[in-house]
């Protein structure tokens, strides 16, 4: 059995990018693997958060995890800050990393672009992400394409520590999907869909009302050619919508092109609205059932205990290898 780890930041409503890039992979992996799905709240505070909102979003994400099909009896679902070893190993891996590689991270460059000063956590959080993964001897990390560079860094750090101190960490692999690996913003298909984008119409959140979903898709930026054809470079808008269509329908991009030959964007977008609304409806219904239940908090406490038991074993090994603490 392989070990799987992934996490989502509780920084706002989970959107189609998070879902189709990462979350959609979670339930299928729990059939044959030992999975840990984490709500990474310590990552969220790399940028300012309202404490009350953050607490609310932690439970929102936890409920969405279960609503998309994660079974807490099979998988370990927990909140990062409930297992203190994340912060501890995070610090150790900050010390194992160097500033050059952290400054090179494109997410850091994007989030700090044009700002005179940003929080240090924004620079060092990839080392914390590496800790999240390495803490559990993870084999597979299901994530969106935007995390590729961070997974590479995690691998580099694991290999570096193993070379210096002897076998300490398992070197993990990223798992990226074809259709949803990178969902772009609906108003600007050159930028990735993101929770923190100012324009609400740039994204579809999993809990959005059908009317909002319709508005966002019908307004989505396309091009003037009018033919439903996949060409990410020259037709990024329609290609992005085709990716979403493909992920929800299971159809290949070639089949979608054939189906819409001779049709304009209007017909395609109307069908995409229907597919998206129908695809998200059961998730939303399940979410409403569990979000305010006592069961949810119990699940998270239990998950943290199970995660902590694994983490403590790794930390014992790490402390010993690094020479930390008393003999």
Distances (CA, A) of 215 to 180, 208, 271: 21, 11, 13
CA distance 160 to 183: 33
The angle, 0 to 180 degrees and rounded to 10, between the axes of the packed helices 85-96 and 294-322 is 40
Confirm whether 195 is a catalytic residue.
yes
Residues touching ligand AQP, count (CB under 6 A): 20
Question: Min. distance of Cβ 258 from ligand AQP in angstroms?
Answer: 26
Task: Tell me whether residue 17 or residue 90 sits nearer to ligand AQP (CB atom).
Answer: 17
Site string for ligand AQP, 95-134 (x = CB under 6 A): ----------------------------------------
Contacts for 163-170: CB closer than 8 Å, 24+ residues apart: 165/321, 165/322, 166/321, 168/317, 168/318, 168/321, 169/134, 169/137, 170/3, 170/134, 170/137, 170/138, 170/139
Task: Tell me whether residue 42 or residue 146 sits nearer to ligand AQP (CB atom).
Answer: 146
Q: Among residues 111, 212, 251, 321, which one is catalytic?
A: 111
Q: Name the segment binding ligand AQP (CB under 6 A); options: 26-34, 80-88, 132-140, 178-186.
A: 178-186
Residue 7 token pair:
């996490």
Q: Among residues 148, 195, 212, 321, which one is catalytic?
A: 195
Question: Min. distance of Cβ 323 from ligand AQP in angstroms?
Answer: 33
Task: Tell me the β-bridge partners of 35.
Answer: 4
Question: Min. distance of Cβ 7 from ligand AQP in angstroms?
Answer: 6
Site string for ligand AQP, 183-212 (x = CB under 6 A): x--------xxxxx----------------
Confirm whether 148 is a catalytic residue.
no
Q: Name the segment binding ligand AQP (CB under 6 A); options: 72-80, 154-162, 179-187, 236-244.
A: 179-187
Question: 245: part of which helix (H) or strand (E)?
Answer: helix 236-249
Q: Name the segment binding ligand AQP (CB under 6 A); options: 116-124, 138-146, 162-170, 281-289.
A: 138-146
Q: Give Rg (Cα) of the chain.
A: 21
Question: Min. distance of Cβ 200 from ligand AQP in angstroms?
Answer: 13
Of residues 9 through 38, those in contact with ligand AQP by CB under 6 A are 9, 11, 17-18, 21-22
> Is there a contact between 127 and 90 (Cβ–Cβ < 8 Å)?
yes
Residue 309 burial (CB count, 10 A) = 11
Question: Min. distance of Cβ 42 from ligand AQP in angstroms?
Answer: 12
- Based on the shown chain and the rule CB under 6 A, indicate whether residue 174 belongs to the binding site for ligand AQP: no
Would you give the end-to-end CA distance of the chain in angstroms?
Answer: 34
- Based on the shown chain and the rule CB under 6 A, indicate whether residue 246 belongs to the binding site for ligand AQP: no
> Is there a contact between 286 and 67 (Cβ–Cβ < 8 Å)?
yes
CA distance 24 to 276: 14
Question: Min. distance of Cβ 121 from ligand AQP in angstroms?
Answer: 13
Residue 178 token pair:
């074809």
Question: 79: part of which helix (H) or strand (E)?
Answer: strand 76-79
CA distance 17 to 144: 8
Contact positions vs ligand AQP (CB under 6 A): 8-9, 11, 17-18, 21-22, 143-144, 146-147, 180-183, 192-196
Residues acting as catalytic residues: 111, 192, 195
């Amino acid at each position: 059995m392989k070990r799987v780890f992934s996490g989502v930041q509780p920084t706002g409503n989970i959107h189609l990018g998070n879902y189709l890039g990462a979350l959609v992979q979670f339930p299928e992996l729990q059939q044959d693997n030992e999975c840990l799905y984490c709500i990474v709240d310590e990552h969220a505070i790399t940028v300012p958060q309202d404490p009350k909102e953050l607490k609310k979003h932690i439970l929102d994400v936890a409920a969405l995890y279960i609503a998309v099909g994660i079974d807490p009896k099979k998988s370990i679902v927990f909140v990062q800050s409930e297992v203190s070893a994340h912060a501890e190993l995070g610090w150790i891996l900050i010390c194992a990393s160097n500033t050059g590689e952290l400054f090179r991270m494109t997410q850091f460059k994007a989030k700090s672009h044009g700002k005179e000063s940003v929080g240090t956590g924004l620079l060092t959080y990839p080392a914390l992400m590496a800790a999240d993964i390495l803490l559990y001897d993870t084999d597979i990390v299901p994530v969106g394409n935007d995390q590729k560079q961070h997974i590479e860094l995690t691998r580099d750090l694991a290999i570096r520590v193993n070379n210096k101190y002897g076998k300490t960490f398992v070197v993990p692999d990223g798992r990226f999907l074809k259709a949803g690996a990178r969902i772009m913003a609906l108003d600007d298909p050159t930028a990735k869909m993101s929770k923190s984008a100012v324009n609400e119409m740039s994204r579809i959140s999993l809990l959005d009302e059908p009317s909002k979903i319709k508005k966002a898709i019908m307004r989505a930026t396309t091009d003037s050619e009018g033919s439903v054809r996949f060409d990410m470079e020259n037709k990024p808008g329609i290609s992005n919508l085709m990716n979403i269509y493909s992920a929800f329908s299971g159809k290949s991009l070639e089949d979608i092109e054939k189906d819409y030959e001779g049709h304009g964007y209007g017909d395609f977008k109307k069908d995409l609205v229907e597919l998206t609304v129908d695809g998200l409806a059961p998730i939303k219904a399940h979410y409403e059932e569990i979000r305010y239940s006592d069961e949810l908090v119990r699940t998270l406490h239990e998950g943290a205990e199970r995660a902590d038991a694994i983490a403590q074993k790794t930390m014992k090994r790490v402390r010993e290898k690094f020479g930390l603490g008393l003999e």
